[in-house]
């Protein structure tokens, strides 16, 4: 009897306390909640509404139902190319970025002297302003730039007009983006490599695992949680790419390097059609959420957690 | 979990509030305390200083009106204007560039003769064609403060070194080609093509005598005469090889930069850059002439900027008086003497040349006189701005030989032509 009642009072007092605490917590949270509501939830909600309206930056707004979405998929000349460009960019950028970052992380193993300095070097592009990066790349790549200059004077070969040639522009946007973004993933992989449990590695060594076999069967599976994280994040940033094409190629030539986010920007702020831009933004959102959900589902097959 | 319902409810409430706030924006005078706000672009401290000088003149002429200047850099100015328009916060006196007027026409109160009288301004005060800059759909939506047109700028040093014939006022397109070809060497090109709207369109328009917008205000990019001239223009890169293809669609000032960097002997740009080209950083000797004459005569457009009264301005009469001072004789004389812009007021125009160095004064004046001799009003469609935005990256493909001018004009016409 006594034990039960005492347990009962304790439980009720704890829950009363937690009620008070959660109320207090709510009080402390409210400034942040107001901020979140004002600057995140309301705009997000508003963008749903916007996407259903014919919403010019100024002038009459009218309800359009799903008209904007229908427009995007059936009559807009740039939307499908923008989707295609985003897909092409992601398909090229994500694997390339991961492979380069992982190779760098592996190459900068414990035996390399001054590897901390190398890591800093490879990480610098991530932290320098992208505008500066893009301008430097533009200077390298344009016909009057460094690459063509060297090629003409040394080899006598005229290089293509990289940023204005529809067959090269996307490649160059990807190359520049990989250079810019690889340092971040490299750091993640480096950190994970340092954390690899020594006993496992040692055991594998004793069993005779070496080189490629060691990498494929021991290191990579143990790195898989980091690879998974890096993949998810890189896919998201790839689908959100904007600054590199905007600054390097202006989305051109034609619409050869116009990705989805730049399409949204152009519709909203250059063509002042906010409804269409909002609709395209929701398409992008669904795409990213869908891909991320798929990745989380698929991870069961290849990601190994230690416990 | 428990928080979800109230949070959703409050979110919904906030969203409604936000929507209501958006819906209620219906145009106002911009300032709460009765001051007349003058919204203007300004790229530098020097620009702002000059505007403040103008403001002093305005204040002196209107001691009873509280005028306030508000500035933003050129590109931001139009983004800000868009937001101000959608939230109904336009400044009473809003500056506008003639080429963009069609996009923003809804923002301005049409000016009547009675309004002009209040402002103390007569239509005859302005140079011929100047009022067209601020006219859209037959309505005068503001008063111009400067006029401009397109010129061919050339690098005398490059042309002399190559032994090419120097451009002369009243020249023809054959002369133009001869100079472009003669000045093209291994290191530099005779001409640089443009990506900006009139930086590239000016020559096709001059050659064909045809604007890409019909007299009824419909888009006419596929007009055969204009399309042929545009094809000739892109052929300067692809066929005659007297100009380099643009390096990227993000280089919006491609041709102008090539020219000012000393990589091309000629380029087309507006009279607004005459002073900066004369004192170019590369240090070459710059000259300027009017656009070449085509078989259909010499067609060039009058461009420029002005000030308009925003719709819903609460103190229209005071705003009109300020407008009258802004484009009045004193303000225009001051602008002309400083050499900042070529004024729209006819009697102030000669002062512009007096600001120039004696060695170039005569040449610049002759080029301006020839270029402005018979300019016509620029016609535009409601979405002219969009047409140009859409054309720009496609031009890069054309210059690089991966699309034809005819196809690009056709597609753009189809997209915006209804």
Closest CB to A37 among B10, B263, B396: B10
Q: What's residue B7's pLDDT?
A: 42
pLDDT digits (tens, 9 = 90+) for A94-135: 999 999 999 999 998 888 888 889 999 999 999 999 999 999
Q: Tell me which residues of chain B, numbers 291 to 310, contact chain A at a CB-CB cutoff of 8 Å.
A: none
Q: Find all residues with CB under 8 Å of A134, minimum gap 6, and list them.
A: A176, A243, A244, A247, A248
A38 and A88, same structural domain? no
Is A60 within the bounds of a domain?
Answer: no
A284 and A198, same structural domain? yes
- Contact between B55 and B66 under an 8 Å Cβ cutoff? The reply is no
Proportion of chain A in helix, strand, coil states, percent, rounded to 5: 75, 0, 20
Computed from CA positions of residues B71, B75, B78, B79, in that sequence, does the dihedral angle turn out positive or negative? negative
A279 and A152, same structural domain? yes
Residue A14 in this model has a pLDDT that exceeds 70: no
Closest CB to B249 among A49, A144, A250: A250
Closest CB to A248 among B82, B250, B383: B250
Mean pLDDT on A69-76: 92
Q: Do A164 and B247 touch (CB under 8 A)?
A: yes
Q: What's residue A10's pLDDT?
A: 55
Strand ranges for chain A from DSSP E: 53-54, 62-63
Q: Do B411 and A77 touch (CB under 8 A)?
A: yes
CATH 3.20.20.70 fits B150-302+364-416, yes or no: no
A202 and A103, same structural domain? yes
The mean pLDDT of chain A is 89
The tokens for A108 are 């900068």
Name the residue with tokens 């790195």.
A223
A187 and A134, same structural domain? yes
Is A93 within the bounds of a domain?
Answer: yes
Mean pLDDT on A43-62: 88
The DSSP result for A118-155, as a single string, is HHHHHHHHHHS-HHHHHHHHHHHHSTTSHHHHHIIIII
Q: What's residue B151's pLDDT?
A: 95
Residue A1 in this model has a pLDDT that exceeds 90: no
Q: Do A46 and B18 touch (CB under 8 A)?
A: yes
3-class SS letters over B103-145:
HHHHHECCCCHHHHHHHCCCHHHECCCHHHHHEECCEECCEEE
A31 and A114, same structural domain? no
- Which of the four pLDDT bands, split at 50, 70 and 90, describes residue A2? very low
- Contact between B39 and B93 under an 8 Å Cβ cutoff? The reply is yes
Domain residue extents for chain B: 36-147+304-360, 150-302+364-416
Q: Is residue B112 within 8 angstroms of chain A, CB to CB?
A: no
- Contact between B25 and B83 under an 8 Å Cβ cutoff? The reply is no
pLDDT digits (tens, 9 = 90+) for A193-238: 988 888 988 999 999 888 888 898 889 999 999 999 999 999 999 9
CATH 3.40.190.10 fits B36-147+304-360, yes or no: yes
A136 and A15, same structural domain? no
- Peptide bond between residue A244 and the one before it cis (omega within 30 degrees of 0): no
Q: Do A250 and B250 touch (CB under 8 A)?
A: yes
Give the three-class secondary structure for A289. helix
A186 and A141, same structural domain? yes
Q: What's residue A72's pLDDT?
A: 93
**pLDDT exceeding 90 applies to what percent of chain A?**
61
Q: What's residue A11's pLDDT?
A: 57
Q: Which residues of chain B have pLDDT under 50?
A: 1-31
A280 and A187, same structural domain? yes
Q: What's residue B88's pLDDT?
A: 79
pLDDT digits (tens, 9 = 90+) for B146-156: 999 999 999 99
A251 and A129, same structural domain? yes
What CATH number is given to the structural domain containing A245? 1.10.3720.10
Q: Using CA atoms, how far apart are residues B127 and A206, in angstroms rounded to an integer?
A: 93
A135 and A227, same structural domain? yes
Q: What's residue B192's pLDDT?
A: 96
pLDDT digits (tens, 9 = 90+) for A288-297: 999 999 999 9
Torsion of CA A239, A242, A246, A248, to 10 degrees: -70
- Contact between A282 and A51 under an 8 Å Cβ cutoff? The reply is yes
CB pairs under 8 A between A and B: 117
Residue in chain A lying closest to B415 (CA): A77
Residue A265 in this model has a pLDDT that exceeds 60: yes
Q: Do B107 and A247 touch (CB under 8 A)?
A: no
Residue in chain A lying closest to B401 (CA): A165
Is A248 within the bounds of a domain?
Answer: yes
Is A307 within the bounds of a domain?
Answer: no
pTM over 0.80, yes/no? yes
Q: Find all residues with CB under 8 Å of A193, minimum gap 6, and list them.
A: A105, A106, A109, A219, A223
A114 and A47, same structural domain? no
Instruction: Using an 8 Å CB-CB cutoff, list chain B residues near A41.
Output: 11, 14-15
Residue in chain B lying closest to A169 (CA): B248
Selection from A116, A127, A236, A126 nearest residue A183 by Cα: A126
Q: Do A45 and B85 touch (CB under 8 A)?
A: no
Structurally, chain A folds into a number of domains equal to 2
Q: Tell me which residues of chain B, numbers 365 to 404, contact chain A at a CB-CB cutoff of 8 Å.
A: 383, 385-386, 389, 392-394, 396-397, 399-400, 402-403
Q: Tell me which residues of chain B, numbers 205 to 244, contact chain A at a CB-CB cutoff of 8 Å.
A: 244
Selection from A65, A211, A187 nearest residue A119 by Cα: A187
Q: Which domain does A35 fall in, by range?
A: 2-51
Is A165 within the bounds of a domain?
Answer: yes
């Amino acid at each position: 009897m006594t034990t039960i009642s005492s347990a009962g009072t304790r439980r009720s007092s704890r829950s009363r306390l937690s009620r008070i605490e959660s109320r207090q917590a709510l009080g402390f949270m409210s400034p942040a909640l107001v901020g979140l509501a004002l600057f995140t939830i309301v705009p997000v909600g508003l963008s749903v509404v916007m996407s259903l309206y014919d919403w010019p930056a100024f002038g009459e707004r009218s309800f359009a139902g799903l008209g904007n979405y229908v427009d995007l998929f059936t009559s807009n000349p740039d939307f499908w190319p923008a989707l295609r460009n985003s897909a092409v960019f992601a398909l090229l950028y994500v694997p390339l970025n991961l492979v380069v970052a992982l190779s760098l992380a592996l190459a900068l193993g414990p035996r390399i002297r001054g590897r901390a300095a190398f890591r800093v070097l490879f990480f610098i592009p991530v932290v320098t302003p992208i505008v500066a990066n893009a301008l430097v790349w533009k200077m390298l790549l344009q016909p009057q730039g460094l690459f063509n200059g060297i090629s003409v004077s040394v080899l006598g070969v005229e290089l293509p007009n990289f940023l204005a040639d529809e067959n090269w522009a996307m490649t160059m946007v990807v190359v520049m983006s990989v250079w810019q973004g690889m340092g971040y993933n490299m750091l993640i992989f480096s950190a994970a490599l340092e954390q690899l449990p020594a006993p496992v590695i040692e055991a594998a060594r004793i069993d005779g695992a070496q080189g490629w076999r060691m990498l494929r069967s021991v290191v990579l599976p143990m790195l898989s949680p980091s690879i998974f994280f890096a993949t998810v994040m890189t896919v998201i940033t790839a689908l959100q790419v904007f600054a590199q094409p905007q600054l390097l190629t202006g989305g051109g030539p034609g619409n050869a390097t116009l990705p989805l986010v730049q399409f949204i920007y152009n519709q909203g702020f250059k063509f002042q059609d906010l409804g269409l831009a909002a609709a395209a933004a929701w398409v992008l959102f669904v795409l990213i959420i869908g891909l991320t959900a798929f990745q989380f589902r698929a991870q069961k097959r290849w990601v190994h957690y230690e416990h | 979990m428990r928080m979800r319902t109230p949070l959703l409810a409050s979110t919904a409430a906030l969203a409604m509030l936000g929507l209501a706030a958006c819906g209620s924006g219906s145009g106002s005078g911009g300032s709460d305390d009765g001051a007349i706000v003058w919204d203007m672009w300004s790229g530098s401290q020097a620009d702002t200083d000059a505007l403040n000088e103008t403001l002093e003149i305005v204040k002196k002429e209107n001691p009873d009106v509280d005028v306030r200047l508000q500035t933003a850099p050129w590109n931001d100015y139009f983004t800000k204007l868009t937001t101000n328009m959608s939230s109904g916060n336009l400044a009473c006196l809003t500056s506008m560039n003639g080429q963009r007027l069609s996009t923003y026409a809804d923002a301005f109160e049409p000016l009547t003769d009675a309004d002009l009288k209040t402002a103390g301004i007569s239509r005859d005060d302005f140079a011929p064609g100047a009022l067209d800059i601020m006219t859209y759909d037959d309505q005068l939506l503001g008063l111009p403060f400067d006029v401009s047109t397109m010129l061919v700028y050339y690098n005398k040093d490059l042309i002399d070194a190559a032994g090419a014939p120097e451009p002369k006022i009243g020249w023809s397109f054959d002369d133009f080609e001869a100079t472009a070809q003669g000045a093209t060497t291994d290191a530099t090109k005779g001409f640089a093509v443009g990506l900006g709207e009139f930086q590239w369109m000016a020559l096709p328009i001059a050659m064909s005598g045809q604007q890409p917008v019909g007299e009824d205000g419909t888009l006419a990019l596929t007009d055969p005469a204009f399309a042929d001239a545009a094809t000739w223009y892109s052929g300067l890169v692809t066929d005659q090889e007297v100009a380099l293809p643009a390096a990227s669609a993000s280089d919006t000032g491609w041709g102008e930069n090539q020219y000012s960097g000393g990589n091309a002997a000629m380029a087309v740009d507006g009279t607004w850059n005459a002073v900066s080209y004369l004192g170019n950083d590369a240090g070459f000797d710059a000259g300027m002439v009017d656009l070449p004459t085509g078989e259909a005569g010499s067609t060039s457009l009058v461009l420029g900027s002005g000030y308009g009264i925003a719709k819903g301005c609460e103190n229209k009469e005071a705003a009109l008086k300020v407008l009258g001072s802004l484009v009045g004789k004193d303000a225009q004389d001051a602008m002309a003497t400083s050499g900042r812009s070529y004024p729209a007021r006819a009697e102030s125009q000669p002062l512009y040349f007096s600001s120039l160095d004696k060695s170039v004064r005569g040449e610049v004046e002759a080029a301006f006189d020839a270029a402005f001799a018979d300019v016509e009003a620029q016609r535009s469609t409601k979405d002219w701005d969009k047409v140009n935005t859409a054309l720009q990256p496609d031009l890069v493909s054309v210059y690089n030989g991966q699309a034809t001018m005819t196809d690009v004009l056709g597609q753009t016409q189809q997209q915006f032509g209804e």
